[in-house]
Amino acid sequence: MRKVSFSLALAVLCTVLSASAPSRAADNYALDPMHSGVTFKISHLGLSWTFGRFNEVSGTFAVDTDDATKSSFSLTIKSESIDTANTKRDVHLRSPDFFSVKQYPSISFKSTAVKLAKNGYEVTGDLTLHGVTKSVTMTLLGGRKGEFPKGVQRTGFSTDLSLKRSDYGMSKGLESIGDEVFLSISFEGTKK
């Protein structure tokens, strides 16, 4: 009977143990609406910027620090919550001329691919706006963790991106209102 060397036996044992060890699951988070926001700006006549925000944002995300490809991000914005600090303009933006909020009550994003990027993640996903779905890619910066209040674990991300509203079937007023919309998205999530 042959003797098995100690180092070979140890190597085999380590391989078996590492193969049977459960992998760490992703951390799941619920968006904290109090510490999250979606703001935008759009040109008016090429002279100035009109600024606005959406007041109702929700979502969930999962972050796997061992394997970014197992991470995911999902965001939903209530279209009717658009707020440009001008009631008359907001009513018009909710109408069929623009967001048509009765027909399309939400704007949504659901990731389809996530990979590591400098200081965060490169996230590709399906953005559905005004009944049109298109693939967009954004860089989410952040991922630092904190505890607030005591016992509540949280993390957050932010990004800036631009979209052409005409790509989503919103072509009203292109001669006076810009086509390109600049968005800033920032959110925190609390660990489930």
Q: What is the pLDDT of residues 36-57, one digit of tens each?
A: 999 999 999 999 999 999 999 9
For residue 176, is it within any domain? yes
What value does the mean pLDDT take over residues 171-185? 95
Instruction: For residue 29, count other CB atoms closer than 10 A to its CB.
Output: 22
E-strand ranges in 47-176 read 48-54, 57-63, 72-78, 82-83, 106-117, 120-129, 132-147, 153-164
Domain housing 140:
25-191
Q: Out of 3-12, 40-49, 172-181, pick the least confident.
A: 3-12
For residue 157, is it within any domain? yes
CB-based contacts of 177, cutoff 8 Å, min separation 6: 42, 43, 44, 50
Q: What is the pLDDT of residues 63-84, one digit of tens each?
A: 999 999 999 999 999 999 999 9
For residue 6, is it within any domain? no
Q: What are the φ/ψ torsions at residue 85 (nearest 5 degrees)? A: 65, 25
Q: Is 106 left (phi over 0), alpha (psi -120 to 50) or beta?
A: beta
Q: Looking at residue 31, what is its pLDDT?
A: 97
User: How many domains in the chain?
Assistant: 1
For residue 18, is it within any domain? no
Quickly state the pLDDT bin for 25 (edges 50, 70, 90): confident
Looking at every residue in the chain, the average pLDDT score rounds to 90
pLDDT at 12 over 70: no
Q: What's the rounded Cα separation, in Å, for the pair 103 and 16?
A: 56
Q: Which helix (H) or strand (E) holds 13?
A: helix 6-20
For residue 2, is it within any domain? no
For residue 185, is it within any domain? yes
For residue 5, is it within any domain? no
For residue 168, is it within any domain? yes
Could you tell me the CATH number of the domain that includes residue 66? 2.40.128.110
pLDDT at 15 over 70: no
pTM reported for the whole predicted model = 0.84
